[in-house]
Amino acid sequence: MTQLQIPSKLVLKTTPKADWQGTLTLLPVPAPQMPNPDKPGQQVGDILAGPNQVIVSVGPAEKLRTANIRKAGISAAAWLIKHGVTAIGLSVSALDHLKIDDALEAFCEGLSLGAFDFNLYKSKADDSIINVFILTEEGDASSAEKIMRVDTLVSGVNLAREWSHEPPNVINPITLAERAQALAAKTGLRYTVFDQDILKQMGAGAILSVGLGSKTPSQMILLEHAGKDKSGDSPPVVVIGKAITFDTGGYSLKNKQGIVGMKFDKCGGMAVLGIMQVVAALNLPVRVIGIVAAAENMISSNAYRPNDIITSLSGKTIEIISTDAEGRMVLSDALTYASTELKPRAIIDLATLTGGVVTALGQVRAGLMSNNNDLADELISAGERCDELLWRLPLDEEYFELIKGSDSDLKNSAGKPLASAIVGGTFLKQFVLNDIPWAHIDIAGMATVESGLRGNSATGYGVRLLIDYLQNLS
C-alpha cells in the first residue's frame, strides 16, 4: 500500500491578507430579504459569480446557523471544482461578519468535505488542486490553528469515506486489519488484532459465525490511544464499529437491488478508524480504544444457516433466524469483550444496523439507543453542536419478548417487521455487561447519501459526532 489516503482536491492555506496577490475571492453572505441581482438566492449554497468574486448564500439571516454555513461551504467547493478554479481567497473577516461562533471552521469544513472525490480507480482521474487562501488580519494568531484542526478533523472524516468506498475485492477482513496496522504505525496508536485462531480460543462464536462462508475469516481489530494517562490504567471510552466488508445476506439472500452497495455495510467500522486517526492527531487527553468488528457475510457450504444455534463470547446462545441480521452478531462479541476486559467508562457503537431506522427517521437523524441517560444526553448535545443529529429510541424490557429464544437464550431477529431498529438495539443490549454505560447509534440512514450519477456516496457520519463528544468530556 503506497498511501493510506487520497490527497485532498482542496487545500486550505492561511495567508496574511496583506501578502496575498490573488484577485478572485469567495464571499459567504446571508440571503437578501428580497430578490437582488447583486446577491445570490435564498437557498443555502446559491451562488452568484462575477469576474473577481464568487458570492455564496448561507441562507436567510434569521435562520443562520453553523449547519447552513457548512452546507454553503460544500456547495462552494462543488462550484469551484466544476469551474476549474485553482486559487481563491477567503477573508476571515467576512466570516466574522456573520456573527456566528465557529463560522470559519464550519465554512472551511464544508469546503473540504465538499471537495471529496473517490477517484482511485478512474483511469482518467482529475488531479487538479484548488488552493483556498484563508486571508488573515494582522495580529490574527488563532486562525491558523483553527484551520489546522479543520484539516485534521476532515482528514479523519474523509478517511472513513474513502475506505467505505473501497470495493470488497480490495478490502476484506484481513486486508482491513493490515490497513489498520499501517494506520496505527503512522499515527502512534497501539494495534492489536484477534484473528480467527484467537477468536476461536476466546470463544467468540458470534463474530466467527458470520465469516464462516467467506475465504477471509472474521477479525476483531483494536486501536488504542493512551491519552494523558501513559500507564494505561484509566478507564477508556470504547468506540466499536460494525465492518461487514460485504454483505450478501448469507442464506437469507438479499435481492438484486438490495445487494448493490453492500460494500457500505462497513461504514460504522470505517468511522471508528477515522475517529481514532483524529484522536491521535489531536492527542486528546482521554484514553480511547477503537474496536472494529470485521467479517464478510458470504454463502458457501461452511456458511452459517437459519436455525443454527451459536454460542457467543458472553456464553449466551443465539438462534439464527436471519443470516442477514449479521451486524448485531459481530457487535455482540465486541461489546462483551469491551465490557468485561477493558473496564471502560463508556461504550459507544456505530453500525449500519437496520433498514427500520431509515423507515423511522429517514436521512435526517441517526437512531440512538442507550442504557444511560447521561451518556445519551451528552451524545445528543454533541450531535446538535456539530450537526450530526440523533434521535433517541426506547429500549423497554418488553421489546426483548420479540427475540426471546425457545431453544436458545435469544434469537438474532424477531422474524417479523416489528420495531426492527429497537429490536436490533435490544439484542445488543444483552451483551453489555457489568452495568457499563453504553450507547448504540444506528447510522443506516446517515452513512451514505444519493450523489447523482455516482449512486451512493459515503458521508463519514459519526466521526465529527464522536470527536465532539470526546473533546467535551469532563
Q: 409-467, pLDDT tens digit by residue?
A: 999 999 999 999 999 999 999 999 999 999 999 999 999 998 655 568 999 999 999 99
Residues making up the chain, counted from first to last: 474
CB proximity list for 395: less than 8 A, separation 6 or greater: 369, 370, 371, 422, 425, 426, 429
Q: What gap in Å lies between CA 383 and CA 273, rounded to an integer? A: 19
Question: 445570490: which residue's cell?
Answer: 40
Q: Which of the pair, 1 or 267, is modelled with greater confidence?
A: 267
Residue 1 pLDDT level (bands cut at 50, 70, 90):
very low
> What average pLDDT does the segment 189-207 reach?
98
pLDDT reported for residue 380:
98
Q: Which CATH architecture has domain 10-136?
A: 3-Layer(aba) Sandwich (3.40)
Question: 496575498: which residue's cell?
Answer: 20
CB 111 within 8 A of CB 132: yes
CB 318 within 8 A of CB 412: yes
pLDDT reported for residue 335:
98
Cα 303 from chain centre:
29
State what percent of residues in the chain have pLDDT above 90. 91
pLDDT reported for residue 124:
83
Q: Which of 328, 365, 411, 464 is catalytic?
A: 328
Q: Which of 13, 17, 146, 254 is catalytic?
A: 254
- Determine whether domain 154-471 maps to CATH 3.90.1150.10: no
Q: What gap in Å lies between CA 11 and CA 13, rounded to an integer? A: 6
Q: What gap in Å lies between CA 467 and CA 276, rounded to an integer? A: 9
State what percent of residues in the chain have pLDDT above 70. 98
pLDDT reported for residue 454:
53
Asked whether residue 38 carries a pLDDT value surpassing 80, the answer given is no
pTM for the full predicted model: 0.97
What digits encode the pLDDT tens for the residues 336-375?
999 999 999 999 999 999 999 999 999 999 999 999 999 9
User: What is the 8-class DSSP label of residue 264?
Assistant: G
- 3 state SS for 447-460: CEEECHHHCEEECC
Give catalytic status of residue 266 as yes or no. no
Asked whether residue 31 carries a pLDDT value surpassing 80, the answer given is yes
Domain boundaries, the chain: 10-136, 154-471
Give catalytic status of residue 254 as yes or no. yes
> What average pLDDT does the segment 95-116 reach?
96
What digits encode the pLDDT tens for the residues 218-245?
999 999 999 997 777 899 999 999 999 9
CB 36 within 8 A of CB 158: no
pLDDT reported for residue 367:
98
Asked whether residue 2 carries a pLDDT value surpassing 70, the answer given is no
